[in-house]
Amino acid sequence: MNLAILSTYPPRECGIASFAKDLRDNLTLWGQNVKILAITDNEASYSYPQEVAFELQEEKKDDFIASAEYVNATFTDVVILEHEYGIFGGCDGSYVLDFVARLKKPFILNTHTVLSQPTIGQKSILMKLGRKAAAVICMTRRSAELLHEVYRIPLNKIYVVPHGVPIFPEKPREKLKEAYGVAGRPVVTTFGFIGPGKGIELGIRAVANLKEKYPNIVYWVVGETHPKLKRREGEVYRESLEKLVDSLKLHENVRFANKYLSLEELGDFLYMTDVYLTPYPGRHQAVSGTLSYAIGCGRAIVSTPYEYSLEMLANGRGLVASGADSAELARLIEMVLNDPLLKSQLEKKAAKLGKTMTWPLVAKSYVEIIEEILRPNYKRRAVKDV
Q: What tens digit of pLDDT does each residue of 204-238 get? A: 999 999 999 999 999 999 998 888 888 888 889 99
Residue, of 43 and 280, whose pLDDT is higher: 280
What pLDDT score was predicted for residue 4? 98
Q: What is the mean pLDDT of the chain?
A: 94
pLDDT above 90 for 42: no
Cα 189–chain centre separation = 16
pLDDT above 70 for 379: no
What pLDDT score was predicted for residue 386? 60
SS3 of 55, please? Answer: strand
What pLDDT score was predicted for residue 263? 86
Nearest by Cα to 52 from 31, 65, 69, 70: 70
What is the set of domains in the chain, with CATH numbers? 2-164+358-381 (3.40.50.2000), 173-354 (3.40.50.2000)
Sheet strands (E) in 64-182: 78-83, 107-111, 135-138, 158-160
pLDDT above 70 for 381: no
What pLDDT score was predicted for residue 226? 82
What pLDDT score was predicted for residue 13? 86
Q: In angstroms, what is the C-alpha Rg of the chain?
A: 21
Residue, of 30 and 386, whose pLDDT is higher: 30
- How far is the first Cα of the chain from the last one, in angstroms, to the nearest whole number? 20
* Residue 116 contacts residue 122 (beta carbons within 8 Å): no
C-alpha distance from residue 202 to each of 108, 177, 245 (Å): 37, 24, 12
Return left, alpha or beta for 271; rule: phi > 0 is left, psi -120 to 50 is alpha, else beta: alpha
What pLDDT score was predicted for residue 375? 86
Task: Please write the tens of the pLDDT for every residue from 245-286.
Answer: 999 999 999 999 988 888 899 999 999 999 999 999 988 888
Task: Please write the tens of the pLDDT for every residue from 320-353.
Answer: 999 999 999 999 999 999 999 999 999 999 999 9
Rounded Cα gap, residues 204 and 166, in angstroms: 28
Task: Please write the tens of the pLDDT for every residue from 148-191.
Answer: 999 999 999 999 999 999 999 999 999 999 999 999 999 999 99
What pLDDT score was predicted for residue 43? 67
What pLDDT score was predicted for residue 272? 96
Query: pLDDT over 90 for what percent of the chain?
Result: 85
pLDDT (mean) for 297-302: 97
pLDDT (mean) for 293-313: 95
Sheet strands (E) in 58-155: 78-83, 107-111, 135-138
What pLDDT score was predicted for residue 384? 66
